């Protein structure tokens, strides 16, 4: 017998959630309105099921699931294109939203997206490094990037990430490399936007754009450059 696990996720109302997944290229393969609201969406080998719950608060949701793929870059690009076509922009804050594609310290290249119901769907591809967290770097700014990235893009704690970045950038007598500074400022702009702090987001974006990067350095921060352009839109 071949087993299959299917997430069943809550939402307040089905239609906004179904519209979101349809924009991502999913097909609604089942829907019922009574005795309880319920729906199924499918895209290739991905199947997600949803149930309606009137008392549910999307902004307070902790529902999540993980989708493993062998083409995370392709899915990220396809999802972003679908969202831009449906919403006129790529939503990066609030609900719904889609996050940055990143190489994480626990052996996956992944991105997070949250649907209108507040459900966080994590989409990742193993990188062959194993699921254990790599040790945090010893160097000050690399260590800060490590922890801030985990807080922002794994634990979904933008306030915690902001504190880490602000603290390390205020250290007296220490300066990050241009690449470190660029990555820290892009992430600071990202989390500021999620927190509704537009002044800090704008300042960090301007700062990131002013960091001089050589051609090889720009290649090493390609994902962050893409995120910078998204945040500027």
Q: CA-to-CA distance for 58 and 173, rounded, in angstroms?
A: 44
pLDDT at 128 over 80: no
Q: Please state the pTM of the whole predicted model.
A: 0.84
> Higher model confidence: residue 56 or residue 230?
56
Instruction: Collect all residues with Cβ–Cβ distance below 8 Å to 39 and sequence separation of at least 6.
Output: 14, 17, 18, 28, 30, 31, 32, 49, 50
**What is the reported pLDDT for 233?**
78
Alpha helices (H) along 137-177: 140-153, 158-169
pLDDT at 213 over 70: yes
Q: CA-to-CA distance for 135 and 105, rounded, in angstroms?
A: 8
**What is the reported pLDDT for 63?**
95
Q: Give the rounded percent of residues in the chain with a pLDDT score beyond 90.
A: 82
Q: Give the rounded percent of residues in the chain with a pLDDT score beyond 70.
A: 98
Span 144-166, pLDDT tens digits: 999 999 999 888 899 999 999 99
Peptide bond into 79 cis (omega under 30): no
**What is the reported pLDDT for 116?**
97
Q: What's the chain's average pLDDT? A: 93
Instruction: Collect all residues with Cβ–Cβ distance below 8 Å to 97 and sequence separation of at least 6.
Output: 91, 113, 114
Q: What are the structural domains of the chain?
A: 8-124 (3.10.180.10), 135-232 (1.25.40)
Span 18-52, pLDDT tens digits: 999 999 999 999 999 999 999 999 999 999 999 99
């Amino acid at each position: 017998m071949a087993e299959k696990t299917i997430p069943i996720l809550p939402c307040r109302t089905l239609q906004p959630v179904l519209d979101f997944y349809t924009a991502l290229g999913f097909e609604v393969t089942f829907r019922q309105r009574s005795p309880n609201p319920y729906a199924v969406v499918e895209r290739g080998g991905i199947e997600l099921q949803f149930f309606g719950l009137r008392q549910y608060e999307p902004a307070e949701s902790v529902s999540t699931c993980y989708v493993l793929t062998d083409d995370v870059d392709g899915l990220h690009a396809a999802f972003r294109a679908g969202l831009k076509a449906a919403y006129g922009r790529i939503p990066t804050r609030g609900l719904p939203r889609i996050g940055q594609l990143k190489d994480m310290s626990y052996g996956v290249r992944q991105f997070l997206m949250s649907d209108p119901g507040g459900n966080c769907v994590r989409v990742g591809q193993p990188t062959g490094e194993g699921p254990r967290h790599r040790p945090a770097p010893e160097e000050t700014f690399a260590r800060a990037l490590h922890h801030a990235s985990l807080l922002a893009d794994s634990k979904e704690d933008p306030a915690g990430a902001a504190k880490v970045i602000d603290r390390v950038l205020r250290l007296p007598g220490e300066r990050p490399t241009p690449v470190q500074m660029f990555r820290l400022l892009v992430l600071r702009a990202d989390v500021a936007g999620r927190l509704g702090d537009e002044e800090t987001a704008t300042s960090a974006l301007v700062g990131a754009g002013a960091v001089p990067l050589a051609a090889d350095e720009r290649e090493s921060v390609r994902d962050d450059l893409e995120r910078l352009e998204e945040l500027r839109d």
